[in-house]
Structure 1
Amino acid sequence: MSHGIVDILRQKLGELHISDFYGLVSPGLTCYLNSVLQVLFMTEEFRDRIKRCGEDATILDIHLKYLFTSLEKNMARTHKITQILGIANVYEQRDAAEYFEKILRQTCPQASKIFKGELNHMTICCMCNARNNAPDFFWILPLSIKDPHQTYRVDKGFEDFFSKEKVSGENKIYCAHCDKSQDAIVMCEMMQPPEVLSLLLKRFHYDSELKRNIKVKCEAEVPLMLKIKDYTYELYAMVKHYGNLTGGHYIAFIYSFQTKEWYDFNDERVKLKRNYISGKPYLRSRSSYLLMYMKRSRNPENISERPDAEAEETHAAMANEVMETSCNRESDIQENDNILPYKYNKTWTTETAVDTVRFSPSKSQPRTNNHLNSSLKRNQTKMKSSMRPDRLPKKDISDSTNVKTASTLDSQKSVHYWTLPEYSPKTSKRSELQNKSRKRTNCNVKPWK
């Protein structure tokens, strides 16, 4: 076989598509668009929701659905997408993060909400401590690179984004309570973390000395895992930028949860990147620009749920304590209906506010307490006939403003705390109450219903 034939075969083999995924054919130099489209396609939840969009589907949703369907079988064209996004000059350098947000804003909310998070911007006056909250949503969190000459740590930059900052001098903020500008503390907190967290490394900024925009090419240490609130996020996509502000090139490195491999998406070409992760908990890159993290699991140290068996034991113990206390109060119950002779601060569940303890069994209550409930009900029934009508109160004490509710004991039960007044509102003089005779009654007597 001649060397010419070998060279031709080698060339043909090099042109063969050897990958699990396909590239994008663009009408011009729209690598900034191709990279984010590949990220959206590889985000399986977003791709599936785009395909399921019904009446809420936008024009962009329809073309994205067609693009994703084609991309599953072979290379796809982005000509229609560029027209819908209003890209007139396909040879002009543009920003990938800008078009990532533009696509999400024009897709149906059901699909784009997995990238949507909520922040609360707080301003605290240093003089009167008045607080102003301004909730807002976000698609991308921008992280500032303060020192371009040192290795930038993404996890540290993420913490700095939520740190407190004091503004003073010319940057004072007007306080409505003080009615003038004051020094203030500004900060923000994440109210609702998204399913997919997108971080932007601000590599482009204005240099006041050079009087022009420049690109920061420092090395960034990108962690593979981020812990945010109660969840752990895993890095699965990274859009890189090579070149400078006026001219450059975008590519996307994306991890497939199906094949468990990383891939290099470079317009029409897609390459498998074996052993892209070197075993370290982070990546180092001088070209990383957009980072996407997928919410993967809940942090076990923040889970405070108790087993059902333990919760049922707690319920039973509480019920027995209430029953025992209810039956051992012979010396505390008084006959006069104008007097609440005791203070009982804890009940299990309540229907109305009464001076005796009521217990309403639930489905989760053990059967061992049923005989106690039956006994208590029988005693109540016997005493109804012996009670005089004039002893019944005219006003239910549930109208009292002294009722306080405690935090829930668990997801189904709650404990109510009652602070009952020592004397009824009907009583005008304490001396009159002290002169009245007080007779002891049976422990199961209920003065009123």
Structure 2
Amino acid sequence: MQEDGYIDLQLLESQEVPEDVCEVQSSKPCLSYSTGRFRNGAIGLCNIGPTSCLNPLLQTFYMNRDFTDLLLRIGELDDTVPVDRRFCYELLALFHDMQKSKDDAVAPYRFLRCLQSLRVSVYVQNDVADVFSTLLSLILQTIPDPYLTEKVRTLYTISLREQITCQRCSQQRTAHSDLLNIPLRVSHSKFHRKVTLERMFWRYFRSQEIHGDKTGCPKCEANRGVKVTQLRSLPRTLSIHLKRLSQKSMDKVNRTVSFPLVLDLLEVLDPEQLPSEECKTPSYSYHLFAVVAHTGTAASGHFCAYINSHKDRQWYFFNDSSICKVSWDDVKCTFGNSSLHWGVTACLLVYVQCEAE
């Protein structure tokens, strides 16, 4: 999708704030998130052409402290690391450039060359969930420490259990799967009815009839069954993909989808849809951390990000090299509106688990 240029905002480097205890007292490496005009580490990424949704996705990784704390522990790059295993090091180098830069934006040329060497297309139209999964997969493949790999995997992976019951012979079969995001399809509404994220989430996990050759029963070969989906385990960072591309017309669906600041899965799902007792999570409440949004049509447009900084709990708008403070009302503009053909719509929601009481 094509991107246009935007006016830069001057981001001035500031001194570290005294309350940044993490960098001063902790022996573990971590980003200070105290530089820039807003003193939260936020800095722009230069618009270097049709880079699709890469810039806003990189910002969601960079501003997620849980992720950067793990990435910083991979150590320094040396000559013994093969070229095809250097992706996570290049990502970390970009984050260091963003942390230390005195300019209003950083040009990620070196990081882009790394992606191109791995044959990842960044100058063509891409689906935001596909790019998100590609970046995470490359990170998991190139982290040198198996322990850190598992920690990052646990941070983002959603584990599901699907049970399919044959409608003819009642034969049951179970399958397990791991996802990096929950895909929720946004359908057209003839009367432009609004829908909530909670409702869509509930529909995804409810029991539903399925049919087709791929659902054939191994016992009686019937191709009709009932599928029940259950969460096996939940990550600390929960990503939800709002699939707004119509399957029939390949048009963008601008239907209004509202999403909450706090998503409480105990209020959304039934008890049997939640993880079993041995896999229970400390908290089922998630607060909204980032929204990757798209302006335009299915054929062209521009991606941006709204991110809630952990430093001051304020919302910021990341538009390539331009960053500004916004309100929750500004974020709600990404709910979508069927009457606005070129309106801004959320396509990827990133929730972070609330601290357990």
Q: Does the alignment reach a TM-score above 0.5?
A: yes
Report the Cα distance in structure 2 between the residues aligned to 1:256 and 1:90, rounded to whole angstroms: 27
Distance 2:214 2:44 in 1: 51
Q: Flag structure 2 segments of 5+ consecutive residues without an equivalent.
A: 1-7, 12-36, 144-148, 266-273, 275-282, 337-344
Matching residue of 2:89: 62
Q: Does 1:174 align with 2:206?
A: no
Within a 5 Å distance, the mapping from 1:293-372 to structure 2 comes to 293-298=351-356
Which residue of 37, 42, 47 corresponds with 2:68?
47
Matched, 1:185 2:185: no
Query: CA contact under 8 A between 1:31 and 1:267: conserved in structure 2?
Result: no
Query: 1:430 is matched with which residue?
Result: none
CA–CA distance in 1 between the matches of 2:219 and 2:207? Answer: 21
- Name the aligned partner's letter for residue 156 of structure 2: F
C-alpha separation between the residues in 2 aligned to 1:113 and 1:97?
18
Aligned residue in 2 for 1:124: 165
Q: Secondary structure, in 3 states, of the residue corresponding to 1:258? A: coil
Cα deviation per residue 1:156-212 (whole Å; 9 max; x = unaligned)?
1011110111135x568322233x2153101211101111110011101232xxxx4
- TM-aligned CA deviation for residue 88 of structure 1: 7.4
Q: Deviations over 1:42-96 (max 9, x none)?
A: 1101111111125999411101111111111223222222233236775533222
Superposition CA RMSD, Å:
2.7
Conserved in 1, the CA contact under 8 Å of 2:205 and 2:229? yes
- Matched residue, 2:296: 243
For the Cα contact (< 8 Å) 2:168–2:222, is it kept in 1? no
Q: 1 or 2 for the larger relative contact order (CA 8 Å, sep ≥6)?
A: 2
Q: Give the 3 Å change call, closer, same or farther, for CA 72–31 of structure 1 in structure 2.
A: farther
Aligned residue in 1 for 2:98: 71
Question: 1 CA distance for matches of 2:306 and 2:98?
Answer: 17
Return the alpha-carbon distance in structure 2 between the equivalents of residues 99 and 167 of structure 1.
29
TM alignment of 1:67-146, pairs within 5 A: 67-74=94-101, 75-86=105-116, 91-107=123-139, 108=143, 109=149, 110-146=151-187
**Does the aligned pair in 2 maintain the 1:234–1:295 contact within 8 Å?**
yes
Query: Which residue identity does 2:136 align to in structure 1?
Result: L
After TM superposition, the score normalised by the length of structure 1 is: 0.57
Give the partner amino acid of 1:238: V
**Are residues 283 and 215 of structure 1, via their aligned partners in 2, closer, same or farther at CA, if it must alter by over 3 Å?**
closer
Task: Report percent identity of matched pairs.
Answer: 25
Q: Take 1:96 and 1:146, find their aligned partners in 2: how far apart are those partners? A: 18
In structure 2, what is the equivalent of residue 33 of structure 1? 54
Partner residue of 2:38?
Answer: 19
Helix, strand or coil: the match of 1:48?
helix
Query: Does the CA-based 8 Å contact 1:26-1:79 persist in structure 2?
Result: no
Secondary structure of the equivalent of 1:223? Answer: coil
